[in-house]
Chain A
């Protein structure tokens, strides 16, 4: 029996979400062999990269090019600050490496286009890390594909992270300076609340919008054509100071006449006992589905339990393994991944249109 080849992976920056690299490495077909970053990144970035390398018993190089050429790499796993995503992914693709990248796809339309072009020209596989293989999402897809609710005509996703993000809005005292976005995000790394890590402030639509929009795309196969959105900095001083949203609602008009919506926000630790309400409501011609994305779960409660600890804990979460499996098969068969560069760009375009809509107060066509 022929054994499937193992893919050697370079982690091109682990400064944001090292769970992406760890998730990939949970699959036996992927092996982390080196961490690398550019030499001129800040000291804190080098420190994080070194820590990750040490924890995994692999070298850390301050030389991305050498990592790509000298270590017999087939895959690059990219998770730097958001504004460096595209640069590192493009360099990896141009070096002929398949790419797994953290979200968001890009911070500018130009970067998103450059990335898609680079991936296409290089003929490599690209996977935007996502949550589509969570058990409840897969269950929803099975139900839809079985035809039990008929043809979907409406889909709604609530995607709330019940996490704090620094001081509450209105708490800044007179005379105090606005909160520096990057410093705030660097500090938030300790509890994983640094999805917006980078110099450029990013609101929840840009940071997390890929998840609910990814679900909607995965479950319906439909692209979004027009949006109407509202957004606001409602909870957190950091978001208010940097003019980005921590709460948003988006109405969606999709291919095939499907309608939908997302409600998304970083709504504060107190707002849910288990990290946030994430739900899907799907209407079809023959019925409807209500899906709690956090299931299956088990309830764990004990004396003096820290407030930050989830009371309901997800179990049987195979998302990481299944995403890595999907990526491995895409490489083996030279086919697209579950969320490839073009699909990720469509989601980027939806977010871009939603932000424009919330500024203008009118619906906006999605321009991919």
Chain B
């Protein structure tokens, strides 16, 4: 299908190498790079779509929307769903698209799995996610929790009706460890554990989806290479993250060019936040929490 025109994109990100890497892979767009919002505002460049992290101050985001610019938020440390709602309203008033996207959905392995779910793999029955991180701040930890919950909900294709969560109480140990257990209508389940207590160095992620006609396993363990330098070999991970942000931005560009409504992304991200809040309630109460469907 022939797409109608080219989009002018303002790409706001503090790391030049990342901006350039993403921009180099985009089609149907002209890209101008900015280090931060102030840089963007000071150079007052004409554009159609602004791409930036959701950790920016809500006022910056509201200003962009009020200026009738489409906005793609790379989901991260979004304050809460109340602010999301105000951004959504502002986008509606301005008649522009506000999209919130979790970059993890665009990892090639996750895209591969998502294409198979509901297709060759059948319906998901049990999704298991491990994410182990070296030390992070509390905001980053919460961001990872919401991102991983979003990934699970996206793969499950539905909203859980039950949440049970535990937090490890290890006196004196820095960092956190959470364990989340989701139940879905129809019997599906998910397990997630998340920690930022690993020693300094690389983290670990693993995802498995057991489904009615098959299964998928995306595990850092499988993607390790070995380095021998005496003593025990080291494990080196062959990374898959080169293209995920470009893929995510391209999808938004194409959606805007085709006039496709991106507001569902907001609802999905909000759902992940609701589940994250339920995680907190479950930990506090020691009980499973029932949540309504969306």
> Would you call B244 an interface residue if the criterion is a C-beta within 8 Å of the partner chain's C-beta atoms?
no
Interface residues on B, range: 35 or more
Q: Which of A154, A234, A270, A290 contacts B193 (CB 8 A)?
A: A154
Interface of A is mostly: strand
Q: Which of B132, B206, B210, B217 contacts A283 (CB 8 A)?
A: B132
Residue of B nearest to A234 (CB): B125
A154 and B164 within 8 A (CB):
no
B215 and A271 within 8 A (CB):
yes
> Would you call B287 an interface residue if the criterion is a C-beta within 8 Å of the partner chain's C-beta atoms?
yes
Residues of A within 8 A of B199 (CB): 286-287
Residue of A nearest to B167 (CB): A259
B189 and A230 within 8 A (CB):
yes
Q: Which of B170, B214, B287 contacts A270 (CB 8 A)?
A: B214
> Would you call B72 an interface residue if the criterion is a C-beta within 8 Å of the partner chain's C-beta atoms?
no
> Would you call B258 an interface residue if the criterion is a C-beta within 8 Å of the partner chain's C-beta atoms?
no
- Give the distance in Å from the alpha carbon of A249 to the alpha carbon of B199 in the complex: 29
B126 and A156 within 8 A (CB):
no
Residues of A within 8 A of B284 (CB): none
B210 and A281 within 8 A (CB):
no
Write the B193-204 contact mask toward A (1 if CB under 8 angstroms, else 0). Answer: 101011100001
Given A257-B170, A363-B287, also A277-B181 (CB < 8 A): no
- Give the distance in Å from the alpha carbon of A17 to the alpha carbon of B195 in the complex: 40
A268 and B288 within 8 A (CB):
no
Interface of B is mostly: strand
Q: Which of A154, A169, A285, A292 contacts B179 (CB 8 A)?
A: A154
Q: Which of B162, B177, B208 contacts A154 (CB 8 A)?
A: B177
- Give the distance in Å from the alpha carbon of A225 to the alpha carbon of B190 in the complex: 21
Residue of B nearest to A283 (CB): B195
Q: Which of A234, A268, A279, A285 contacts B170 (CB 8 A)?
A: A285
Count, A-B residue pairs, CB within 8 A: 121
> Would you call B212 an interface residue if the criterion is a C-beta within 8 Å of the partner chain's C-beta atoms?
yes
Given A234-B187, A251-B166, also A259-B177 (CB < 8 A): yes
Residues of A within 8 A of B168 (CB): 153-154, 257, 259
Residue of B nearest to A170 (CB): B212
> Would you call B221 an interface residue if the criterion is a C-beta within 8 Å of the partner chain's C-beta atoms?
yes
- Give the distance in Å from the alpha carbon of A247 to the alpha carbon of B190 in the complex: 12
Write the B207-221 contact mask toward A (1 if CB under 8 angstroms, else 0). Answer: 010111111010011
B125 and A290 within 8 A (CB):
no
B195 and A251 within 8 A (CB):
no
A234 and B212 within 8 A (CB):
yes
- Give the distance in Å from the alpha carbon of A232 to the alpha carbon of B217 in the complex: 21
Residues of B within 8 A of A268 (CB): 213-214
- Give the distance in Å from the alpha carbon of A259 to the alpha carbon of B169 in the complex: 10
B287 and A230 within 8 A (CB):
no
> Would you call B149 an interface residue if the criterion is a C-beta within 8 Å of the partner chain's C-beta atoms?
no
Residues of A within 8 A of B220 (CB): 290
- Give the distance in Å from the alpha carbon of A156 to the alpha carbon of B212 in the complex: 23
> Would you call A51 an interface residue if the criterion is a C-beta within 8 Å of the partner chain's C-beta atoms?
no
A263 and B126 within 8 A (CB):
yes
> Would you call A267 an interface residue if the criterion is a C-beta within 8 Å of the partner chain's C-beta atoms?
yes
Write the B165-180 contact mask toward A (1 if CB under 8 angstroms, else 0). Answer: 0101110010001010
Given A156-B193, A288-B132, also A362-B287 (CB < 8 A): yes
Residues of A within 8 A of B195 (CB): 154, 283
Q: Which of B197, B198, B210, B288 contacts A265 (CB 8 A)?
A: B210
Residues of chain A having any CB pair with chain B under 8 Å:
153-154, 156, 158, 160, 162, 168-169, 228, 230, 232-235, 247-249, 251, 253, 257, 259, 261, 263, 265, 267-268, 270-272, 277, 279, 281, 283, 285-288, 290, 292, 361-363
| Known contacts A156-B193, A230-B181, A287-B198, then 13 further A-B pairs from the complex at CB < 8 Å, ordered by chain A residue | A153-B170, A154-B177, A158-B208, A160-B210, A235-B212, A249-B191, A251-B191, A259-B177, A267-B210, A271-B211, A283-B197, A361-B183, A363-B287
Residues of chain B having any CB pair with chain A under 8 Å:
125-126, 128, 130, 132, 162, 164, 166, 168-170, 173, 177, 179, 181, 183, 187-191, 193, 195, 197-199, 204, 206, 208, 210-215, 217, 220-221, 286-288, 290
**Those 9 A-B pairs whose CB atoms lie nearest each other, nearest first:** A232-B187, A271-B215, A230-B189, A234-B125, A249-B189, A228-B164, A251-B181, A230-B183, A290-B221
